[in-house]
Amino acid sequence: MLTIEASRTNSIPVLAAQLLGRLAARDLERIPLLFEPEADLRALQPDGLLVGEGVEDIAGMFAMWFGDVDELELIDSTSGWIGSRVQVRWLVRVQGDRFGSRPRLIEQCAYGIIGPTNRFATMSLVCSGYLLEPIDG
């Protein structure tokens, strides 16, 4: 069983910044390194709940969301504390073959509990889905 420690150390803002930086750089292979080996990620998506247990599942989830996009732009992000949890939110614009010719926007907001080695031990995430970007004018 994984012991969870929710301390407010200086490494927590760094952890959120690392997650956002790796996402912006499309460094998806290194995102799972921000999670404890036995971490879990629960993601509520428009089509239902997706549950990942362990870093391999978590790697697969990020690859599913962003692995096959041709372009990814981090438009906005925030992070901070909500009680004893770290909150990280990002809004990205993506383009790729599976979306057709118009870019899509996706917003994800995650709440994480920090584990004993200052990595995410558990994360709950809500996802907007891939929304067509409005056409100007």
Domain annotation for the chain: domains and CATH numbers: 11-132 (3.10.450.50)
Return the DSSP state at 137: -
Q: What is the pLDDT of residues 38-83, one digit of tens each?
A: 999 999 999 999 999 999 999 999 999 999 999 999 999 999 988 8
For the whole model, what pTM was predicted?
0.87
Write down the pLDDT at residue 42: 98
Write down the pLDDT at residue 67: 93
Write down the pLDDT at residue 5: 43
Neighbours of 68 (CB within 10 A): 12
Which letter, b or e, does each residue of 76-101 get, where b requires 16 or more Cβ atoms within 10 Å of its Cβ? ebebeeeeebbebbbbbebbbeebee
- 89 neighbors 75 (Cβ within 8 angstroms): no
Q: At a CB cut-off of 8 Å and minimum separation 6, what does 111 contact?
A: 82, 85, 86, 87, 123, 124, 125
Cα–Cα distances (Å) from 89 to 20, 66, 74, 97, 134, in that order, read 9, 16, 11, 25, 21
Write down the pLDDT at residue 41: 98
Q: What is the pLDDT of residues 3-47, one digit of tens each?
A: 334 445 455 678 999 999 999 999 999 999 999 999 999 999 999
Write down the pLDDT at residue 82: 87
Alpha-carbon span 51 to 32, nearest angstrom: 15
Alpha-carbon span 42 to 56, nearest angstrom: 14
Amino acid at 37: P
The pLDDT of 83-87, averaged and rounded, is 90
Write down the pLDDT at residue 90: 97
The pLDDT of 114-131, averaged and rounded, is 96
